[in-house]
Amino acid sequence: MEGREILSENLERVTPGTVLMRGLGRSYGDSSLPAHPEDKVVATRLANRIIAFDPSTGVLRGEAGVSLVELNRSFLPRGWFTPVTPGTKYVTLGGMVASDVHGKNHHVAGCFGAHVRALKMRLADDSIVECGPDAEPELFWATVGGMGLTGHVLEVEFKMDKVTSPWIWRESTRVRDLGEYLDALNAAAPRWPMTVGWIDCVCKGSGMGRGILDAGRWATREEAGDALPKGGLSIKFPVDLPGWAVNDFTVGLFNTAYYWKQFESRITGLATSNQFFYPLDGILEWNRGYGKRGFTQYQCVIPRRAGVHAVTEFMQLLTKLGGASPLSVIKDCGPEGKGLLSFPLEGTSVAVDMVVTPELQKIVDRLNEFVIEVGGRIYLTKDRFTRPEHFRAMEPRLPAFLAAREKYDPERKLRSAQSVRLFGDKA
């Protein structure tokens, strides 16, 4: 459901009386979808002006619709990069704040919100405020990771990182099974600022968890040479996956092909930022209209204190339930951030693509029960199926978030399909 989308360069003018904002709609879940077809949703993508950039400090202030595609295109050649990037560059600053996104460097850099210095917001009572870690901190930390439910973000100020070159020095290692994978991930964390990996969870038995661990850092000038990476297409995957064809067979084929592409056990070398950070942007067609997607994602984090066996058990459960998944991304997370509903906590995050079928609700329920048992939680931006009682059980911080909502939007004017489902807002 798109709702009544309002598209404008001027967010201040159009936001009064609207219930939700939307960036580029890259969230897999229902958080950027309205609860009701008549609800007015403001799309921010035309509000994409950079308001100020200070090259002596890297501090950038931009309107909420500035996207990472644009920032990378314009700033990376000049040696600046966002402190945190998700696995797609088709996201806006507003969306990055609302989901408090994490990247391959979470174990060293935390989430995006940790780098934000100020937000300009339109609140539910139509007033405009400026908040940050020091000004109205309750509003600020409820908004960071708050899925758009505390107010409309109009402008975002954060600090860009200075990078040594526009290239990544990457090391890809092939691992045989999940145990080896988790060991390798642990071993890489202190040595590499960026790590992530892909594993095969369709293959059953001893090959379960075979995969590739990708580690990287910004290349030095000497390693990179003078050439600028060309824009354009990301790395080509060996198999093209139309969304409707995702089944055990194609997934198995995909994983095998991807696995064996890395025929050597370790490959090192230069990669472009597109190849390293955004391998999916080249193969997935996302502009297909909201709510019509045939697949979704499930992402959870299993706390470190639950032990490695908890991750193994989760993967076994996932395999048993048969939620076909060509892309199981496993990443270690650093400590929990300050965002009241921010997703990561110290442990292992698992993200899997899932085809939407009538059985999916049952699969998600079963996975959530496991996550609750081990003290983990799910990532709201990817979620469309979690039950409210399950979310309450996995989120001890929820009362603090709801208290902030009560303070800043007592009438619950701001709402989404997700907030109706999870927090019982009126549709």
Ligand X SMILES: Cc1cc2nc3c(=O)[nH]c(=O)nc-3n(C[C@H](O)[C@H](O)[C@H](O)COP(=O)(O)OP(=O)(O)OC[C@H]3O[C@@H](n4cnc5c(N)ncnc54)[C@H](O)[C@@H]3O)c2cc1C
Which residues here bind ligand X, judged by CB under 6 A? 20-27, 31-32, 44, 64, 86-88, 91-92, 94-95, 98-99, 101-103, 147-148, 152-153, 280, 284, 381, 416
Nearest CB to ligand X, comparing residues 177 and 377: 377
Among ligand X, other proteins, none, what binds residue 229 when CB lies within 5 to 8 Å by partner kind? Answer: none
Among ligand X, other proteins, none, what binds residue 73 when CB lies within 5 to 8 Å by partner kind? Answer: other proteins
Q: Residue 273 CB, nearest distance to ligand X (Å)?
A: 14
Q: Residue 261 CB, nearest distance to ligand X (Å)?
A: 19
Nearest CB to other proteins, comparing residues 78 and 320: 78
Nearest CB to other proteins, comparing residues 162 and 407: 162
Among ligand X, other proteins, none, what binds residue 400 when CB lies within 5 to 8 Å by partner kind? Answer: none
Among other proteins, ligand X, none, what binds residue 238 when CB lies within 5 to 8 Å by partner kind? Answer: none
Q: Residue 45 CB, nearest distance to other proteins (Å)?
A: 8
Among ligand X, other proteins, none, what binds residue 88 when CB lies within 5 to 8 Å by partner kind? Answer: ligand X
Q: Residue 44 CB, nearest distance to other proteins (Å)?
A: 13
Nearest CB to ligand X, comparing residues 98 and 355: 98
Q: Residue 399 CB, nearest distance to ligand X (Å)?
A: 20
For 175, other C-beta atoms within 10 Å of its C-beta total 20
SS3 readout for the chain: CCCEEEECCCHHHHCCCCCEEECCCCCCCCCCCCCCCCCEEEECCCCCCEEEEECCCCEEEEECCCEHHHHHHHHHHHCEECCCCCCCCCCEHHHHHHCCCCCCCHHHHCCHHHHEEEEEEECCCCCEEEECCCCCHHHHHHHCCCCCCCCEEEEEEEECEECCCCEEEEEEEEECCHHHHHHHHHHHCCCCCEEEEEECCCCCHHHCCCEEEEEEEECCHHHHCCCCCCCCCCCCCCCCCCHHHCCHHHHHHHHHHHHHHCCCCEEEEEEEHHHHHCCCCCCCCCCCCCCCCCEEEEEEEEEHHHCHHHHHHHHHHHHHHCCCCCCEEEEEECCCCCCCCCCCCCEEEEEEEEECCCCHHHHHHHHHHHHHHCCCEECHHHCCCCCHHHHHHHCCCHHHHHHHHHHHCCCCCCCCHHHHHHHCCCC
Among ligand X, other proteins, none, what binds residue 102 when CB lies within 5 to 8 Å by partner kind? Answer: ligand X
Contacts to other proteins by CB under 8 A? 6-9, 46, 48-53, 55, 60, 70, 73-74, 77-78
Nearest CB to other proteins, comparing residues 53 and 370: 53
Q: Residue 170 CB, nearest distance to ligand X (Å)?
A: 16
Q: Residue 6 CB, nearest distance to other proteins (Å)?
A: 7
Q: Residue 223 CB, nearest distance to ligand X (Å)?
A: 25
Nearest CB to ligand X, comparing residues 103 and 216: 103
Among other proteins, ligand X, none, what binds residue 381 when CB lies within 5 to 8 Å by partner kind? Answer: ligand X
Residues 228, 166: contact at Cβ < 8 Å? yes
Among other proteins, ligand X, none, what binds residue 52 when CB lies within 5 to 8 Å by partner kind? Answer: other proteins
